[in-house]
Amino acid sequence: MTEPDAETTPLASPENPAAARARRGRNLAIALGLVGFVVLVYLVTVFRMGGNVLDRPL
Amino acid sequence: MTPPAVVQASSPARWQDFVQLLKPRVMSLVVFTAATGLICAQAPIHPVMGAIAILCIAVGAGASASLNMWYDADIDARMRRTRGRPVPAGRVQPADALALGIVLSLFSVMLLGLALNWLAAGLLAFTIFFYAVVYTMWLKRWTAQNIVIGGLAGALPPVIGWAAAAGQAPLDAWILCAIIFMWTPPHFWALSLYTSEDYAAAGVPMLPVTAGAAVTRRQIWIYSLLLIPVCLAPAATGLGGAAYLAVAALGGAVFLLLAWRVRSGRAGDAADPRVTDGLYDVKAAARDARNLFAYSILYLTLLFATLLGEHLLGSAAPGLPGGLI
């Protein structure tokens, strides 16, 4: 059994600059989408509950 | 359900390609008509919740567009107007377009249901299903009535907006739906009169391809005659006021004039009527159809903008957006 050659492993292969830029852009878009989703869920929770948050037995 | 052929990637997908999958221009029309329905409902809804409802409807429309681009990649590759889209151009893999469509469909329907109500969410789910499955996978490739029946998907956003705000879908909401539904055939057939070579090459049975230009011109005239009374209906039910009546009547008269020019002209008879790949640069014979196509967009925009304006200007009255919750 031989160890994988770092130079021929896909993960280690040099990526062309255009592909790297495209991937960075996609990653940023996904990150923004996830942050937006969190904000949306937060807003929905706040506005759906509204004043009802205080309307409960303490 | 036949999955489209795998396309070899020609360049790495950029995030803009995924935005293009959502058909942003169609989304903007959906946002506009859905917002009109939401405002016209005159229901006490918080602006943030209203914005979330519109966002869900827009994302749902984008999801169905992505599913459409996944399934129709073979057709799109054969048409001048659509061959530059991300999937046929090889920039996005079909499986990625499919995944994006499914994820956004689930996201938009679930969020709309949890945030607003399940009637609106159900209508949105039906709209996505109708566009992606009934229209894209079935009607589009099967019958010349594809855009007549399939037009329902594009007509439903105002009803979803209304239901999101009010929790119900009364007659006035369905009148808004009927306006878009009746507007769709003359709008798309006017376009198809000068793009029929594209549709014929792609094997899509649009009316000019299956029945000829003369029949299409007659059908445009008939649907235009049916459209105008529907556009006047909001004035009769009280949904639209005096300004709306004026816009619907005067604008409708212009619509009929342009439709009659198409009816009595020769649009669609000449081969290769387009000068460029764009939708507006056409040769003389196709100008009547081009004019009706362009004006139909303006007419629908004016109708909904007037309704929107009338209801927003009346927002000083209690219960309208502006004095919310």
Write out pLDDT tens, residues B67-113: 999 999 999 999 988 999 999 999 999 999 999 999 999 999 999 99
Last-in-domain residue among B135, B169, B203: B169
B21 in the same domain as B164:
yes
Assess if residue B325 is contained within a domain. no
Q: What is the pLDDT of residue A18?
A: 86
Would residue B6 count as lying in a domain?
no
CB-based contact, B12 to chain A, within 8 Å: yes
Chain A residue with minimum CA distance to B13: A22
B43 φ/ψ angles, rounded to the nearest 5 degrees: -100, 150
d(CA B46, CA B28): 22
Q: Is the residue at B268 inside a domain?
A: yes
Looking at the structure of chain A, the number of domains it has is 1
3-state secondary structure A15-40: CCHHHHHHHHHHHHHHHHHHHHHHHH
Mention every residue, 6+ apart, whose C-beta is less than 8 A from residue B78. Answer: B198, B201, B202, B203
pLDDT at position B230: 97
Q: Does one domain contain both B161 and B187?
A: no
Give the end of a domain, one of B169, B189, B214: B169
Cβ neighbours of A25 in B, within 8 Å: 14-16
Q: Does B55 touch chain A (CB under 8 A)?
A: yes
Instruction: Measure the CA–CA gap between B162 and B56, rounded to whole angstroms.
Output: 13
**Searching chain A, which residue's CA lies closest to the CA of residue B52?**
A40
Indicate the number of domains in chain B.
2
Q: What rounded mean pLDDT belongs to chain A?
A: 78
- pLDDT in the model for residue B316: 36
CB contact B2 to A (< 8 Å) = no
If asked whether residues B39 and B128 sit together in one domain, one would say yes
A chain contacts of residue B111, beta-carbon cutoff 8 Å: 40, 44
Same domain, B31 and B93: yes
Q: Identify the CA nearest to B111 among candidates A55, A53, A42.
A: A42
Q: What is the pLDDT of residue A17?
A: 86
A48 chain-B contacts, CB cut-off 8 A: 49, 114-115
Residue A10 pLDDT level (bands cut at 50, 70, 90):
low
pLDDT tens readout for residues B227-262: 999 999 999 999 999 999 999 999 999 999 999 999
Task: Give the ipTM of the model, two decimals please.
Answer: 0.73
pLDDT(A7) > 60 = no
Residues of chain B with pLDDT under 50: 1, 6, 315-325
Q: Which residue of A has its CA nearest to B11?
A: A19
